[in-house]
Amino acid sequence: MRFLAAAIVLLVLAQSLPAEAGKCPKVCSCDGAKLTVACVGKNLTMVPPTIEEITLKLDLKNNNLQVLLRGAFVLTPYLTHLNLQRCNIIRVKEGAFRTLGRLVSLNLAFNQIDILYQESFDGLSSLKELHLDHNRIEEIQPGAFTQLGFLNLLALTHNQLVYIPNMAFQGLLNIKWLRLSHNSLNNLAPEAFAGLFTLSRLSLDNNELQFFPTQTMTRLGEVKRLDMSHNPMTYLGEESVSMAKLTHLYLNHMSLQDLSDQALSHVPLLSHLDLSHNQLRNLEPLSGPKKLGSLNLTGNPIYCNCYMRPLKQWARAGGVKLLGACAGPPHLSDEPLQTVAPLNLRCRSRAERLTDEFEEESDSTSSPPTAKPKQNSKCPANCDCDIESQHATCEGQGHTKVPRGFPAKTQLLDLRSNHFHYLPANSFPGSSQVVSLHLDLCKIHEIESGAFRG
Ligand X SMILES: *[C@@H]1O[C@H](CO)[C@@H](O)[C@H](O)[C@H]1NC(C)=O
Residues of this chain that interact with ligand X (CB under 6 A) are 43, 45, 64, 252, 274, 276-277, 294, 296, 298-299, 323
406 Ramachandran zone, left/alpha/beta (phi>0; psi -120 to 50): beta
CB of 399 to ligand X, least distance (A): 31
User: Which residue, 159 or 252, is less far from ligand X as judged by CB?
Assistant: 252
CB-nearer residue toward ligand X: 97 or 110 = 110
Q: 90 vs 323, which CB is nearer to ligand X?
A: 323
Minimum distance, C-beta of residue 336 to ligand X, in the bound complex (Å): 12
- Cβ-based nearer residue to ligand X, 44 or 79: 44
In this structure, are residues 161 and 141 in contact, taking their beta carbons and an 8 Å threshold?
Answer: no
Q: Which is nearer to ligand X, 88 or 186 (CB)?
A: 88
List of residues 6+ apart from 59 with CB closer than 8 A: 36, 37, 38, 39, 40, 81, 83
Measured from the CB atom, the residue of 183 and 296 that comes closer to ligand X is 296
State in angstroms the smallest separation of the CB of 437 from ligand X: 22
Query: Which CB atom, from 47 or from 175, has the smaller least distance to ligand X?
Result: 47
Quick one: 67 or 323, whose CB is closer to ligand X?
323
Which residue lies nearer to ligand X by CB, 252 or 279? 252
Min dist. Cβ of residue 291 to ligand X (A): 16
Closest CB 66 distance from ligand X, rounded Å: 9
C-alpha 439/C-alpha 427 separation (Å) is: 12
HEC readout, the chain: CHHHHHHHHHHHHHHHHHHHHHCCCCCCEEECCCCEEECCCCCCCCCCCCCCCCCCEEECCCCCCCEECCCCCCCCCCCCEEECCCCCCCEECCCCCCCCCCCCEEECCCCCCCEECCCCCCCCCCCCEEECCCCCCCEECCCCCCCCCCCCEEECCCCCCCEECCCCCCCCCCCCEEECCCCCCCEECCCCCCCCCCCCEEECCCCCCCCCCHHHHHCCCCCCEEECCCCCCCEECCCCCECCCCCEEECCCCCCCEECCCCCCECCCCCEEECCCCCCCCCCCCCCCCCCCEEECCCCCCECCHHHHHHHHHHHHHCCEEECECCECHHHCCCECCCCCHHHCCCCCHHHHHHHHHHHHHHHHHCCHHHCCCCCCCCCCCCEEECCCCEEECCCCCCCCCCCCCCCCCCEEECCCCCCCEECCCCCCCCCCCCEEECCCCCCCEECCCCCCC
| Least spacing, CB of residue 52 vs ligand X, in Å | 25
- Shorter beta-carbon distance to ligand X: residue 276 or 431: 276
CB of 321 to ligand X, least distance (A): 8
Q: In angstroms, what is the minimal distance from the CB of 245 to ligand X? A: 20
Q: How far is the CB of 236 from ligand X (least distance, A)?
A: 18
Q: Nearer to ligand X by C-beta: 87 or 423?
A: 87
- 227 DSSP β-pair partners: 203, 250
Please provide residue 91's backbone torsions phi and psi, each rounded to the nearest 5 degrees.
Answer: -140, 140
Spacing of C-alpha 298 from chain mean position = 18
In this complex, which beta carbon is closest to ligand X, that of residue 15 or of residue 64? 64
Q: How far is the CB of 30 from ligand X (least distance, A)?
A: 22
Q: Closest distance between ligand X and the C-beta of residue 111, in Å?
A: 16
d(CA 66, CA 111): 9
Minimum gap (Å) between residue 165 Cβ and ligand X: 33
CA distances from 313 to 120, 322, 391 (A): 55, 11, 26
